[in-house]
Amino acid sequence: MLVVALLGTVLAGSRWSDATLTPQLALDLEGGTQIILQPVTTDGSEVTSEDIQQAIGVIRQRVDASGVAEAEITSQGSNNIVVALPGRPDDATLDLVKTSAQMQFRPVLTYGAPTPVTATETPAATPTPGSSVDAGDGTAEGTDPAATEGAATEGAAPEGAATEGAATEGAGAPVVETTQAAEGTTLSSEAVATATEPAPDPAATDPATDPATDPAASDPAVDPSAAATPPATDAGPTSPSDAAFYLTPEVQAAYEALDCTLPENLTGGVNGAADAAVVTCAQDGTVKYVLGPVEVEGTEIDSASSGLRTTSTGATTNEWVVTLDFTGQGTREFAATTERLVSLTPPQNQFAIVLDGLVVQAPSINEPIPNGQAEISGGFTRESAATLANQLNFGALPLTFEVQSQEQISATLGSEQLQRGLLAGLIGLVLVVVYSLVQYRALGLLTVGSLVVASVLTYGVITLLSWTQGYRLSLPGVAGLIVAIGITADSFIVYFERIRDELREGRTLEAAVDRAWDRAKRTILASDAVNFLAAVVLYLLAVGGVRGFAFTLGLTTLIDLLVVFVFTHPALVLMSRLRFFSSGHPLSGLDPRRLGAPGPRYAGRGRVVRPAVGVPDDASSLGDERAPVAAGARRGGATAVSAEGLTIAQRRAAQRAAQQAATDDDGPSTSTSTTSTAASSTSAPGTSTGTAAQDAATQDTGLTGRDEQGSTR
Amino acid sequence: MAIDLARWGNDLYAGRRSYDIVGRRRYFFGASLLLSVVSAVLLVAPGLNPGIEFRGGSEFVVTGPASLEQQTAIDAVQGISPEESPRVTTIGGDSLRVQTARLSDTEVAEVRDALAEAYDVTADDVTSSFIGPTWGQDVSQRAIIGIVVFLALVSLVMTAYFRNWRMAVAALVALFHDLLITVGIYAAVGWEVTPATVIGFLTILGYSIYDTVVVFDKVRENTADTLDQSRYTYGEKANLAVNQTLVRSINTSVVALLPVAAILFVGAFILGAGTLRDIALALFVGMLVGTYSSIFLATPLEVALREREPQQQRQRERVLAARAAASGARPEGATVPTTSADPSASATDGSDALPVGRSARPVAPTVGALRPGQHRGTTAQPRRKGRR
């Protein structure tokens, strides 16, 4: 039932979507789009092959991160990069590849809600600076542009304590409750530092209008180097954080006008002038920023990686962080920047990581970082940490890309390959079917049925995934699926062989199925767990084609487990109740005689189960013969019981009787009974055990008889 | 065939017929070592032949060809360099891209001319350039990291599951053995190594461990109570387990190999060079060797490691002492086997299902079977003196 329901879901999912009923094919089978990129260095230096290799690695990571489609990325000639994407990739994917990445670190001067400020009473000469930000309060709400008016009072409350006029001027300024970009992100040089969240912003950054009376806002005054120098609009900037210098009315106006909720403002592009303030948006459009001039170029990043934070004692916490290493010059610049920023008040103690003109992250500084090894923490998931590290790495490349051409390409493998491959798979399947039918008779049908269910499920899931996840089937993938037949069938074989083993022990089919399942289950789970482990590890760590392979492997392993647990086993339990199987019909594949089950088996309560020993083809008689034989009356009745199927007690009784017969000359009754049992045993063709009399007389003879029988049968 | 296999399975299960795999482990170790050395030599001498995807190669673009027939290009390239299996792609509907392995300068010129001629364009319409590998160092590096992490994890998991590190060690040795031999044979055949081949090798990685785990599970089940009895040694019990899983191993490998063989056949003889052929060869060899190593390498190795344990050694001595005592009445009692196997086991690997050595068995009954799994029926019952 479950399987049917599952299948229904899969099929329905495919039916009511734009997806086709066939899985999408990968580059080698379907063709796709080829983009030729030419990297151009931003600093005018030569493009080295190392740069190209790095760029290829980063592009591959970006493509891999967007799904499991296998892209081909290669260098062409000395300085071109060729990216081939399967099918007709959407614009987002293409942008991912083409994006020229330039990263800069700039100090944050101020930031606010993404919507344009529609301040009614703000005079042009005194621009509204009071964007009060309650960043990182832990709530997961996004910015609510609609709350602009109502939130003004809320925003004013914390400000009121620190600033007099700015707060009221700030009325009408948007309030950012929580932003993605600024959400509790902190930066510390040491692993032990905990993620502290930026305090609510008390500082109104309007030193230009009233620097002297607003100590909280006079940031340059806090800056030790500039403590003695009051900001003056006619002097040069005291530092890149000098809001007084950089927040010119033009910048302010641009800042107010900027609407980060509009998609066209989020496409990124060129970074602004390196020595001037810029107005920009966060990548997700939830915040807008005014940023100071560039302090550290992204190219000064040596490497960036993401991982779980390790404390100074070496223990691993479960908090995801991104670690940064700067180059020599970057270390010096970054040390100077952090030293200055750490003493500033929020939001100016933050610096923004700008990628392609958009702010990726704006962490605040917890402490000066002199050694060039920074750690960004706070609110990361595994994915977001990896993404940031990826972006930081990408930013380390001093390259932009020019798209040389973008064309459709055909499949590298002809449709012939796929057809022949499928044909080969079909032939293989037929062979498997024939083999399992020969080996397991009717039980083989169950193998075939399970394989069919597994293939239908696999097909369904792949179709579903190619629709939702962009999974694409390549020819190695097809081969992998065909190979999976073997691994899936192995689960059944392990199970069936177990059942046969239990039958050999002399159990009835139902008992054998129960016991075999208990044991086979463990084996199947253990071996599949190993396979699944391989799939997960390779999927997480590897890139490119290996990742696609791992995905297929994991998928087929899971489906194998699913099919065995919810289809094969229940079906077998049902089948074991059928007379055809439980009676051990020779065609059922579970014929105890062929499996060499030992002779009679004590069934408890004085009853004995005899295996079928009749004419093999006569199924109807088998049932009767398998019926438990009621043991005769214990006392004095041992000789009356059929010789086969003696319990220990009965055998002993027979033995005693024989001894008695030998010692006393009271022969007639016992001797006749002995001959009668002997006759009955020899009359049955293919008798499995020696008679009780023989057993009783000499044990070794009995054993020889059994063994001879075993070898001749 | 099936009937024979089923009966054979019975005999194996019941211990009537037994192959002394564990006892003769030296031969199998020797064979594996020899194969591994040969493979290692093959890896060095002919070596692997990495394809365009790994080494990069030459690329030709034919602009405005007379036809977009792909076979024309393949023929043209193979006319110059018969070994090549170029990848031909149409680009944008009016040009063809032909990728080959890295060619020498003269060959490049020749291929250019051949392509120009084949597609009826001027030589200027055929541009050539070198392309880098699509499967670069970074992909290999990440894949290797993945494999190493996987192996470390799988060792831990197996150690935890089997509660013994020796099984994990044996499984890993078997895995390396499988990979080495598969890669060696691939090198010997001399086909190009493509990403498909690598994926085939990776599949072997999974399959080998998988198969070993299935066999080891049975070994573990059989040997769970080894220390609680003094009738059989660990090696004998493990040997029975291997024999009992033999039918399963054969069935599994046949079922797994049939589709692979079909792909290999179609790929090698009908399609020629290509993804299918590469992956199928790697899989075919790997699965064969993987099944072999689970039985003939991993288990004996595990037993060899196990029998070094002090408590197993003590148990073995106990078993042998008990046997010596039991057969003490015999004149030839001194011939009690010192190896892990019953003397009769070594003689029964032929078609004869009868345990030999029966004739030598004294009239005084030995209680119980001498081989694990053997059924002695009622003779194994302790005889009681008549109480009444």
Q: How confident is the model over A384-407, as a mean pLDDT?
A: 70
Residue A21 lies in a domain: no
**How would residue B347 be classed by pLDDT, with cut points 50, 70 and 90?**
very low
C-alpha–C-alpha distance, residues A657 and A670, integer Å: 7
Cα–Cα nearest to A127, from A273, A216, A229, A244: A244
Q: Chain B closest CA to A40's CA: distance in Å?
A: 18
Higher pLDDT: B383 or A171? It is B383
Residue A12 lies in a domain: no
How do beta strands A186-188 and A103-112 pair? unpaired
Give the pLDDT of residue B255: 84
Give the pLDDT of residue A487: 76
Q: Which of A376, A409, A442 is the last residue of a domain?
A: A409
Tokens 């060129």 locate to A270
Nearest CA in chain A to B154: A530
Residues of chain B with CATH 3.30.70.3400: 57-131
| B16, B134, B262 ranked by CB distance to A427: nearest | B262
Same domain, A634 and A667: yes
Residue A7 lies in a domain: no
Same domain, A528 and A449: yes
Cα–Cα nearest to A390, from A610, A96, A167, A684: A96
Q: Testing the interface with A: which of B54, B62, B142 to mutate, by most A Cβ within 10 A?
A: B142
C-alpha–C-alpha distance, residues A385 and A529, integer Å: 28
B14 Cβ neighbours under 8 A, 6+ residues apart = A504, A596, A710, B373, B374, B375
Q: Testing the interface with A: which of B172, B203, B213, B281 to mutate, by most A Cβ within 10 A?
A: B203
Contact at 8 Å (CB) between A65 and A387?
Answer: yes
| A409, A413, A421 ranked by CB distance to B90: nearest | A409
C-alpha–C-alpha distance, residues B56 and B82, integer Å: 19
Q: How confident is the model over A334-357, as a mean pLDDT?
A: 74
Chain A environment of B245 (Cβ under 8 Å): 497
Q: What are phi and psi of B112, to 5 degrees?
A: -60, -50
Maximum mean pLDDT: which of A93-102, A482-491, B19-28, B96-105: B19-28
Chain B environment of A34 (Cβ under 8 Å): 91
Nearest CA in chain A to B366: A700
Q: Chain B closest CA to A532's CA: distance in Å?
A: 9
Maximum mean pLDDT: which of A12-26, A234-248, A400-414, A518-532: A518-532
The angle that helices B137-162 and A49-65 make with each other, rounded to 10 degrees, is 50
Chain B environment of A542 (Cβ under 8 Å): 139, 142-143, 145-146
Partner-chain contact A56 B138, CB within 8 Å: yes
A184 Cβ neighbours under 8 A, 6+ residues apart = A135, A136, A138, A195, A197, A198, A378, A379
Higher pLDDT: B154 or B383? It is B154
Is it true that the peptide bond before A220 is cis, omega within 30 degrees of 0?
A: no
**B168: exposed, middle or buried (C-beta count within 10 Å: 0-12, 13-18, 19+)?**
buried
Query: Percent of chain A scored above 70 by pLDDT?
Result: 49
Residues A137-147 pLDDT 10s: 333 333 333 33
Residue A8 lies in a domain: no
Give the pLDDT of residue A681: 41
Same domain, A54 and A134: no
Chain B environment of A549 (Cβ under 8 Å): 199, 202-203
Structure tokens at A169: 């001027």
A30-55 residues labelled b (16+ CB within 10 A) or e (exposed): bbbbbbbbbbeeeeeeebeeebbbbb
Partner-chain contact B206 A527, CB within 8 Å: no
Chain B environment of A523 (Cβ under 8 Å): 213-214, 217-218
Residue A589 lies in a domain: no
How far from A155 is each of A161, A256, A348, A364, A547, CA to CA, in Å? 12, 17, 18, 20, 48
Which amino acid is present at B269? F
C-alpha–C-alpha distance, residues B224 and B212, integer Å: 18
| B138, B154, B276 ranked by CB distance to A417: nearest | B276
Residue A534 scores a pLDDT above 50 = yes
Give the pLDDT of residue B194: 81
Chain B environment of A427 (Cβ under 8 Å): 259, 262, 266
Nearest CA in chain B to A545: B195
| A409, A504, A538 ranked by CB distance to B146: nearest | A538
Asked: is B2-49+136-311 a CATH 1.10.10.10 domain? The reply is no
**How would residue A96 be classed by pLDDT, with cut points 50, 70 and 90?**
low
* CATH number for the domain harbouring residue A448: 1.20.1640.10
Chain A environment of B244 (Cβ under 8 Å): 501
Same domain, A422 and A537: yes
C-alpha–C-alpha distance, residues B239 and B371, integer Å: 10
The helix/strand/coil state of A85 is strand
How far from A573 is each of A5, A588, B150, CA to CA, in Å? 20, 14, 36
Count Cβ–Cβ pairs < 8 Å, chain A vs chain B.
Answer: 309
Same domain, A558 and A444: yes
Partner-chain contact B213 A530, CB within 8 Å: yes
- Domain containing A568 equals 413-575
Partner-chain contact A483 B256, CB within 8 Å: yes
The helix/strand/coil state of A199 is coil
Tokens 């899989």 locate to B283
Residue A11 lies in a domain: no
**What ipTM, to 2 d.p.?**
0.74
Same domain, A119 and A68: no
Partner-chain contact A490 B218, CB within 8 Å: no
The helix/strand/coil state of A381 is coil
Same domain, A564 and A625: no
Query: In this structure, how many other beta carbons lie within 10 angstroms of the beta carbon of residue A617?
Result: 10
Same domain, A417 and A378: no
Partner-chain contact B147 A438, CB within 8 Å: no
Between A85-89, A260-264, A293-297, A579-583, the lowest mean confidence (pLDDT) is in A260-264
Give the pLDDT of residue B380: 57
Same domain, A89 and A115: no
Contact at 8 Å (CB) between A269 and A283?
Answer: no
**B180: exposed, middle or buried (C-beta count within 10 Å: 0-12, 13-18, 19+)?**
buried
Residues of chain B with CATH 1.20.1640.10: 2-49+136-311
Q: Testing the interface with A: which of B378, B384, B388 to mutate, by most A Cβ within 10 A?
A: B378
Same domain, A236 and A285: yes
DSSP single-letter state for residue A248: -
Structure tokens at A484: 């999976």
Q: Which of A367, A386, A409 is the last residue of a domain?
A: A409
Structure tokens at A296: 């550290």
Same domain, A330 and A420: no
Which amino acid is present at A265? N
In CATH terms, the fold of domain B57-131 is Alpha-Beta Plaits (3.30.70)
C-alpha–C-alpha distance, residues B69 and B71, integer Å: 6
**How would residue B37 be classed by pLDDT, with cut points 50, 70 and 90?**
very high
Residue A595 lies in a domain: no
Which amino acid is present at A248? T
Chain B environment of A556 (Cβ under 8 Å): none
Q: How confident is the model over B93-113, as a mean pLDDT?
A: 79
Same domain, A273 and A365: yes
Report the predicted TM-score, pTM, of the whole model to 2 decimal places.
0.60
Residue A334 lies in a domain: yes
C-alpha–C-alpha distance, residues B373 and B350, integer Å: 19
* CATH number for the domain harbouring residue A43: 3.30.70.3400
Residues B304-314 pLDDT 10s: 998 888 888 88
